[in-house]
Structure 1
Amino acid sequence: MSKLLEGRVAIVTGAGRGIGRAHALELARHGAKVVVNDFGVSNNGEKTAPSDRQSPAHEVVAEIEAMGGEAVVNGADVADFEQAAALVQQAIETFGGLDILVNNAGFVRDRMLVNATEDEFDAVVRVHLKGHFATLRHAAAYWRAESKQGRQRVARVINTTSGAGLQGSIGQVVYSAAKGGIATMTLVAAAELSRVGVTVNAIAPVAKTRMTEGAFDTSAMALPEDNSPIVAWLASEEAGDVTGRVIEVDGGVITVENAWAHGPSRDAGARWEAEKVGPALRELLAEAPAPEPVYGA
């Protein structure tokens, strides 16, 4: 086993299957002790049987233990504020602290805008956006308290956004909005937590998973485990100078996303007159780079 993460304690949410499972196994290979969180839901968020001793999370823990690592199962709903707090506390009580939070849990309910329902909006935003917020909020409170006591931890957060959240995706208006929110949350959290030794980054993974299979042709897509080495390095003490970044991972290709940045501008020197807005804005658009096309457009 590698010593990149030796002695560090990690939580990985949504770690029973797919990308989350790959992250948990990769962190363990590098020496991390892992809390394997999985609420036990289907691809569209329907609850399965969390009490099953052969649940995916238990299988991941068994795999980690078989390689000589340490791991425990957690069945929390990460979007439940109290359960998210208990998840963080489990890591602290079981392994003596928390150093790494990998927010990965989520599901999809793809719909075109005109067909999306209020219930689908609430469910998708809840698991992705609130699910990231709740765990990060409680982890941040712990790290802040540790810092105040003179025990500042070299902590790392890796969130999960998506190309859908950065460039948009036809048929995924709600999912795209939630993932876009996660990218912005990453930037703000990175700025706020830098004073207590915490870096916060996000990956935009491209992989063949339950969430992508059936939606389009995934035959040429990367595997879930192709994303995990980037997560392992971002989770390490070596990565202390990298924060507030979004990194797309597509197989062997890693790309630093530029996201929103100020482009060309014009100053009218006073309140704009509506008649003058069109010509000025068209000049600015001609100077600016063309936006990335929306996926599926």
Structure 2
Amino acid sequence: MPVVTAVLGDITTEVVDAVVNAANEAMRGGGGVDGAVHRSGGPAVLRDCIARFPNGLATGDAGWTTAGDLPARWIIHTVGPNYHAGQRDRSLLVSCYRRVLKVADEIGARTVAFPLISTGVFGWPRADAIATAIETLAAASTRVDEVRLVAVEEAVHKQIRAALWLRCPPPVGTGTVGSLFEREPTQFGLRGDSYLWRELRARFAHTPLPDHWFTLRTLLTDTIEQVVGEPLVSRESTPWHDKSAAIHVPEFDPGHGMSAGAVHLPWWVHTGVPILLDRYAAQREPDAAPTLAPANSVAFRWPSPLTAELT
């Protein structure tokens, strides 16, 4: 199974063994990623396409050519389904990723950079395209060591990263803030809370535990506020079960249901952050509970019986 990462950048500049081109059936260049790859790769790419694929390539299939002037060694072209034209069989999109990896194994490529296939002019819904890519790549049997999912837009990159961290969370070091997130609560407030939990776990995967619980609380609250764009203390007086206090975070939106992408800030105030502080106290200050905060600061309520059940 390859290591899958999310990358913000231009796929034509990725220094990998193979870059993936989202081509059309004619294999003669086009718009979007296809056009960018052909322009950056130069005329050698088109010549090889004509020579190797005189009749084009079928939807869901893949094949390789030279990378021309690109920093990669090969281009692996694949034809994604055209959602706008009625090609909505998800297995065709799955086939694109599987066939690319098979071709990569045939040519000996160990690092491969993918765009989100079919999400451009072909119109495949982005959330499902991201889920399809991650599910297929994470379960693949291949000799490819590293797969990069490359997005040129920051919003798309964040959405890929959030979905990837939910499906394939990175390892965390011992004695780190990330280690406090290893064991998940049995219940989150809303769907987006599980995404935020994994996001924080990944962000703090290698951050050493601070020397004092108050430093940890500040680090956690500052980061949560940065992600959701609202002060966490503004929800301190809101009951933990009040779902009207949800904040929609676009990158956490998997496209499912009314609560898609919703982060429930009262859950973090009354349950999420106290769980993490409680775990910190168990590791670093087993005989002390952080019941007091420095002057002029707002103190979170310490874990209730509900919190204890969730830990």
TM bin (shorter chain) = 0.3 to 0.5
Find the structure with the greater CA-based Rg.
Answer: 2
Q: How does the TM-score come out when normalised to structure 1?
A: 0.37
